Amino acid sequence: MKKDLHPLFYPRSAAVLGAGADPERVGFNIFESIVYGGFKGPLYPIHPKLKNILGYDVYPSLDKVPGPVDVAVIALNQFSTVDVLEECARCGVKGILSIAGGFGEVGTEGVKLENKLAERANELGIPLIGPNTLGFINDDGNFYATFYPLRLIKGGVSVISQSGGMGLTIMQKALDEMMGMNKWIGVGNRAALEFSDYLAYLGDDPATRVIGVFMEGSEDALKFVKLIREICLKKPVVVFKAGQTKESDYMAMTHTGSLAGPYRLYRDILKQNGAIVVDTVEELVACCKALSLSQLPEGKRVGVLTHTAGPSIVAADYMLQLGCELPKYAPETYQRVRDVIGQNPPVVLKNPLDAAGLGFPALTYGRIADAVLGDPSMDIMMAIYCLHKNWRFPSREIIDVRNKWNKPAVAYYVSTVGDSAIDREMLQKEGVPLYISAREAARAVYALYEYKQILSSQAQ
Amino acid sequence: MSTSKYFPARLNDKRRRCSKAQVKEILDKIKSDGRKLLFEDEVKRLLALNGIAVTPCEVAHNEDQAVQLAAKFGYPSVLKVRSVFYTHKSDCGGVKLNLPDENGVRMAFREIRAAVAEQEPEACITVQPMAGAGTEVIIGVTTDNHFGKVIMFGLGGVFTEIFEDVTFRLIPITRKDAFEMLESVKGSMLLEGYRGKPPADRESLVEALLKVSKLVEDNEEIKELDLNPVVVYENGLLVLDGRGTLS
């Protein structure tokens, strides 16, 4: 049965139970985050004694609030969290975020309490996120219900994370990468809502174009991968499954079963069912960014253009390992390159095409890029350039070439995050993802091809 | 009486249609014995009923029966212990390979009985013909806590034991999944033949994976299968050994 999570992610009004005025405490931070997140609806802090927090009237209890409450953010301790559920139901609450720890993660008593929490929430028919979570964010609805306040860049990538800390890592990397995000969910202990519930919701969510997942493991795995199989035809699902060592002991099985441990099982089965599987946060963000910005290539043939050999060798090496091809350029392409830079140019006429010193000026770089992406044997271009004090990045030229040939391009600039910020914005606005690491750029190129493959094979 | 090794080309494959009733009968018999463990001959019957080629394998209760069976299947012959106490048959001295003649079979029968005397002195012993050499692979089935029924494929010997070069798919698998399984192990080029070794019959391997997947899909109570080794030839394959458990 599909659970209706819409009122939870797009509340018209919200209350924060346990809101406080002390910046040291979770209760203040989550309230402040919702305020500064720009939530437009009525917002009610609930506290027995306080009168005012950040200019908002405080109410002593949920039933004293003057209007309806769609979402109750519960920042109380674990015992009070369970106690307050009935009141939430009486007040017509449509969704709950439960922040407190002290549940299933702390032993038998905690498990009992968590079961009680989940059972009551399910009986009352109220979807509940958590407990033991940093919260969730819906940038699309300006609802930043997390006690780690930050602002995301608007976009189409939504993330489900089993870990708060890894979820933050993803968001911070996304900010560095200027990857636009839509929703972020810290699933916490998954007492009442499972991975598959969130995945199903994001699969149907029109604002989410790409789904990224960080997971450690879940008893819900079968349902989860079956859903991926359906959703991957509508939007890409990128999964980072943690725990590659065999120490994880959930699978005390026979010889056959315990051979490779759960990681390989997850990896293979996720791929079988249409997920793009990655091994690091960097790769997760690299893939999600490319998939949310770029058109897909027709195939896996990559034309690489550079003016510096090393980075192109490293990127090419990684792309080849992943499964890309770097075919030879057509003879006409070499002729076109000679037309640009002379009949006997001091460049290496092969793929990667190293324009060396002649590639420094952006205009020349652009004319060579035109030959590279125009080559009929190339499906996608990786354009490499090094940051320089006096020479500008060829971003405009890369965009023009991409537009002219209507084939995807990925830019890899050897640069700092800050020095490439203006160009990152310019390129990504036009659908060309920019990276400053060879591995990430290469992974992104392959992810675009992988998703093209998923669409054609899963559709059969 | 022949003295050449057994190959799948000699298998008199009448393209028997899988009889669900016969499969059920075998599984019910095991359950009524109060057993979880499937013996090699039982696994092989299940496989054969599903169109997977196996070396014929029958149970001998005494030495003379073993000799008769060996003669029926042809030499060289193979004897293995059939006991719930010795599931890792070769570790306890319960497997005797490449027995050239009646004398060899009689000796082997006595040696195996002696080796298992402590736990099961009257243990049954299976008899089968010695198969020819080819590319060894492993096909497995496990029931994972998170995913449920999963099929595994790996290359035999050190590739699986040491390098753990294996791949998994959720059951049921498609033909495309089966092909990808062959390609996604690092040693997959071994199947293409190397240093004069002929290429392995990949199509028959794909068929076997699909049939194992179907067998398990149709019979929920099969918890685990370990077909090891499966030998793949230029034409066809043979399952040489197998065991399994019921849930």
Same domain for B116 and B224?
A: no
Neighbours of A437 (CB within 10 A): 16
Condensed to tens digits (0 to 9), the pLDDT of residues A210-251 reads: 999 999 888 889 999 999 999 999 999 999 998 776 644 333
For position A41, which CATH number holds?
3.40.50.720
Query: In whole numbers, what is the pLDDT of chain B averaged over residues?
Result: 90
Measured between beta carbons, which residues in chain B are less than 8 angstroms from residue A262? 144, 146
| CB-based contacts of A93, cutoff 8 Å, min separation 6 | A15, A62, A69, A70, A71, A72, A126
Contacts of B150 in chain A (CB under 8 A): 257, 265, 269
Tally A–B CB contacts below 8 A. 77
Predicted confidence at residue A459, as pLDDT, reads 62
On whether residue B51 sits in a domain, the answer given is: yes
Please check whether residue A303 lies inside any domain of the structure.
yes
Q: Is B11's pLDDT higher than 60?
A: no
* Residue-level pLDDT at A250: 38
Task: Indicate the pLDDT class of residue B15, thresholds 50, 70 and 90.
Answer: low
One domain for residues B34 and B120 = no
- Report B:153-182 residues touching A (Cβ under 8 A): 154, 160, 164, 166-170, 173, 176-177, 180
Report yes or no: A253 and A272 within 8 Å, Cβ to Cβ: no
| Residue A136, in any domain of the structure | no
Model confidence pLDDT, tens digit, residues B94-133: 999 999 999 999 999 999 999 999 899 899 999 999 999 9
CATH of the domain at B224: 3.30.470.20
Q: Is the ipTM of this complex over 0.95?
A: no
CATH of the domain at A320: 3.40.50.261
Residue B2: its pLDDT value, please? 58
Q: Which residue(s) pair with B238 in the sheet?
A: B231
H-run or E-run covering B60: strand B58-60
Amino acid identity of A261? G
In a domain, A401, yes or no: yes
B241 and chain A in contact, CB less than 8 A: no
Domain assignment present for A146: no
Q: What are A335's two structure tokens?
A: 């002729």
**pLDDT (0 to 100) of residue A341:** 84
Pairing of strands B77-82, B124-129: antiparallel
Contact B168 A222 (CB under 8 A): no
Is-cis flag, bond preceding B229, omega within 30? yes
Mean pLDDT in residue range B202-207: 96
Q: Cis ω on the peptide bond leading into residue A131 (within 30° of 0)?
A: yes
- Which of A270, A293, A316 corresponds to the end of one domain? A293
Helix boundaries (H) for chain B:
20-32, 40-49, 63-73, 102-115, 158-161, 175-184, 202-218
* Whole-number percent of chain B with pLDDT over 90: 74
A338 with A288, same domain: the answer is no
pLDDT at B63: 97
How many domains does the structure of chain A reveal? 3
Residue B12 inside a domain? The answer is no
| Same-domain status, B50 and B24 | yes
3-state DSSP helix/strand/coil percent for chain B, to nearest 5? 40, 25, 35
CA–CA separation, A59 and A301 (whole Å): 62
How large is the average pLDDT for residues B36-52?
95
The candidate with the shortest Cα–Cα distance to A443, out of A313, A289, A304, is A289
Residue B13 within any structural domain of the chain: no
**Angle, nearest 10°, between helix axes A281-293 and A438-458?**
60
What is the band of B189 on the pLDDT scale with cuts at 50, 70, 90? confident
Tokens of A105: 């993660």
Q: What is the pLDDT of residues A380-403, one digit of tens each?
A: 999 999 999 999 999 999 999 999
In tens, the pLDDT along B72-84 reads 999 999 999 999 9
Of A56-65, A252-261, A432-441, B7-16, minimum mean pLDDT range: A252-261
B198 pLDDT more than 60: yes
Secondary-structure percent of chain A, ordered helix, strand, coil, rounded to 5 = 45, 20, 40
Region B197-202: what's the mean pLDDT?
90
Which of A219, A255, A272 lies nearest to residue B169, judging by beta carbons? A272
Mean pLDDT of chain A, nearest integer = 93
Worst-scoring range by mean pLDDT, A113-122, A368-377, B35-44, B141-150?
B141-150
Pick from B145, B169, B171 the residue to mutate for testing the A interface (most A CBs within 10 Å). B145
pLDDT band at B17 (very low <50, low <70, confident <90, very high): low
Note the pLDDT tens digit of each residue in A284-307.
Answer: 999 999 999 999 999 999 999 999
* Residue in A with minimal Cα distance to B228: A256
User: pLDDT-based confidence at B93, cuts 50/70/90?
Assistant: confident
The tens digit of pLDDT for each residue in A9-25 reads: 999 999 999 999 999 99
Residues in CB range of B237: below 8 A, 6 or more apart: B8, B53, B134, B200, B201, B204, B205, B208, B230, B231
In contact, B170 and A225? CB cutoff 8 Å = yes
User: pLDDT tens-digit profile of A326-385?
Assistant: 999 999 999 999 888 888 777 778 999 998 878 789 999 999 999 999 999 999 999 999
Nearest to A272 by CA among A457, A445, A118: A457
For A220, the closest chain B residue by CA position comes to B146
Q: How confident is the model at residue A261 (pLDDT cuts 50, 70, 90)?
A: low
Identity of the amino acid at A38:
G
* Residue B14 pLDDT greater than 60, yes or no: no
pLDDT of residue A201: 97
